[in-house]
Structure 1
Amino acid sequence: MIKKLFLLLIIGWATIGLSWAQGVSTGGSYFVELYNGERIYARKLQFKSPVFKQNFFLLDDSLRYAPETVKYFQNQEGYFARVNAGRRFSDFAQREQAGRISTYFVYRMDYNSFSPGIGIGMGRYGMGGYGMGGYGMGGYGYPSQRRVYYFSKEQGPLEPLTYKNLRVALSDNPGSMESLQDYKRGQNIQTGMYIAGAGFIIAGMQQQFRGTSSGSSISPLLLVGAGITLLPQIIKLVKKDKLSEAIDLYNYDPR
């Protein structure tokens, strides 16, 4: 009888211990996923950058993992995937949109030296494929912050979000390819408008310097050139970006 009670007591303690261990490993909402496929959950996840020491991920104030061993992680800010080899937090990109084509971004700092003006956004994924206009002042040496975009197809490696890369990734979806063609056509039109605007501005400056502007303080050609140059940016503010449209169509298509 005593042996049976002792055996039941041992089994009970083992069951409680196993349940507690499982709660620790899977009870947290945050995690790091290593290159070997192992995923470690935690209730608290921090990225530490101590002075004169190597960076590391700290889970529940006890477990440490070197950044170079981590492929993905999720913390209170969102889901992140590695985009560059290294030990820095900036070597991971934050996911913005999840789907068959998932989009990610990282922040990059630009330092514009003595170029007056304020940075203007260039659409969701920016001119030439990726990147956004700066948040801060765009001139006189002030730094500006922009987003650089990447994408991943079906949990594959991250690639720069460009027209060229998307043409390959979305080639099996006719609707997405049509949106990409519209994007390319729009880019060609914008390039032509920028060239035309620059031509008017140069002609206006020459007219201004020659003093043949009919008594006007500012040459009309300068105003026309500035208007033509700004027009593509204004259109982008009111028109859906074709790159994001191509991605949305691909993610919507059930397969």
Structure 2
Amino acid sequence: MRIPIFFPALALVLLGGRAAQAQDVGPRQLGAPPTMPPPARPRTAPAPRQLDAVPVAPPDTTRRATVTTPLPGPMSAPAPVYAPTPPGRLPGNNTRAARFQVGLKNGLVYNASDVETKTPLFGRSYLLLDGQRKFDLNEVGFYEDETGHYVRTTLPGSSRESTLRRDKTGRISLYSITTSQYSSGPGGFGYPGYGGYGYGGYGMGGMGYPYNGYRTVKTEYFSKDNGPIQSLSTRNLMLATSDNAGAQQLLMESRRYQQITVGSYVVGGGLLIAGLLQSLQPTDNGRSISPMVYAAIPVLIVPIVLQSKQASNQRQAIALYNAGK
């Protein structure tokens, strides 16, 4: 029979497998605990990837410095510069450092504590520095004194040099000349730009005050970037400030005021002349003042108001251009 042979063969196979396993493990001592299989080797985890640059906040040392810094001590009194003033004497001294400059056309510059302009009755005008050194005005390019800064240059349309006072500095600097003129009678109605009210450079016409005697006339000019002197007119300013839109807008309004001013002078002057001629003609009731004379008065007052606005717009345009806005 085949069954009895199958069971002995299966038993031999099982016993042979256990013997081989016991031989691999090694001999075990008697009374020792059973040997456990060696634990599996742990896998090392990969190191975390770091960023290229990690922002690190700076250490807060402000509070620490505030706490550890000692409090400042009392301020020491300033050292005396001069000796105490005796009774009956003025404090300080009566000397002063050189504070004025005189520049000649040859490039030399002199410092002086006192500069005076001398205009003798006979002879040429000259500058007197500290009461000792004299310079003819034809040799001087600029000078300073108690009243301001002056330059010597030629005016537009003239070959003779004149002395101009600098009133305002900037990319557009303002200069002026002040002269005295004699008026022998009631002043006529001035035209723009011819010095009525003493503002010839601004085109300020006027009534020619005062009616008798001397009057002061101030004629103004300007220079852009220290260039040649130009007459202060709306047209010249528009050319000089062509790269500034804000200044151009103000000067456009100034030119409109100027046009209205000229028209008012023409209309008012025509009414006044016609009224005077009509008043001189005899009538049945005798001579009387023509109504056109009264009508000319308010028309001639309009330029006085508009000229102040025109001058104000020119000043604002210059200030805006110098500010670079």
C-alpha distance after superposition, 1:173-225 (max 9, x if no partner): 12222222212111111111222222332443354345679999433221111
Following superposition of structure 1 onto structure 2, how do residues 71-220 of structure 1 map, counting pairs within 5 Å?
Answer: 71-84=141-154, 91-116=162-187, 125-126=199-200, 129-130=202-203, 137-139=210-212, 142-210=213-281, 217-220=288-291
In structure 2, the residue matched to 1:8 is none
Change (3 A) 1:173 1:214: farther
1:171 aligned counterpart, secondary structure: coil
2:154 aligned counterpart, secondary structure: coil
Change (3 A) 1:70 1:135: farther
Following superposition of structure 1 onto structure 2, how do residues 15-54 of structure 1 map, counting pairs within 5 Å?
Answer: 27-54=97-124
The Cα shift of 1:242 comes to 2.3
Q: 1:137 corresponds to which letter in structure 2?
A: P
Distance 1:190 1:45 in 2: 43
The Cα shift of 1:81 comes to 1.1
Change (3 A) 1:157 1:131: farther
Greater RCO structure (CA 8 Å; 6+ sep): 1
C-alpha distance after superposition, 1:13-53 (max 9, x if no partner): xxxxxxxxxxxxx9411110122333211111112334544
- Aligned-residue sequence identity (percent) comes to 30
- Number of residue pairs aligned between Structure 1 and Structure 2: 223
Distance 1:31 1:229 in 2: 47
Distance 1:55 1:135 in 2: 30
Change (3 A) 1:222 1:212: farther
Change (3 A) 1:238 1:166: closer
Greater mean alpha carbon deviation, residues 221-230 or residues 118-127: 118-127
1:91 aligned counterpart, secondary structure: strand
In structure 1, the residue matched to 2:68 is none
Distance 1:122 1:213 in 2: 39
Distance 1:132 1:148 in 2: 12
CA contact (8 A) 1:134 1:146 kept: no
1:46 aligned counterpart, secondary structure: strand
CA contact (8 A) 1:123 1:237 kept: no
Greater mean alpha carbon deviation, residues 177-186 or residues 44-53: 44-53
The Cα shift of 1:148 comes to 1.0
Distance 2:311 2:187 in 1: 29
The structure where helix makes up a greater share of residues is 1
Change (3 A) 1:212 1:172: farther
Q: 2:140 corresponds to which letter in structure 1?
A: V
Distance 1:92 1:118 in 2: 29
1:157 aligned counterpart, secondary structure: coil
C-alpha distance after superposition, 1:130-175 (max 9, x if no partner): 5676985245xx3322011111212223222223322222222122
1:227 aligned counterpart, secondary structure: helix
CA contact (8 A) 1:45 1:57 kept: yes
CA contact (8 A) 2:180 2:216 kept: yes
Distance 1:134 1:198 in 2: 12
CA contact (8 A) 1:119 1:137 kept: no
Distance 1:214 1:192 in 2: 35
Distance 1:242 1:133 in 2: 19
Provide structure 1 residue ranges, at least 5 long, that are not aligned to the other structure.
Answer: 1-25
Asked if 1:225 is matched to 2:296, the reply is yes
Change (3 A) 1:213 1:160: farther
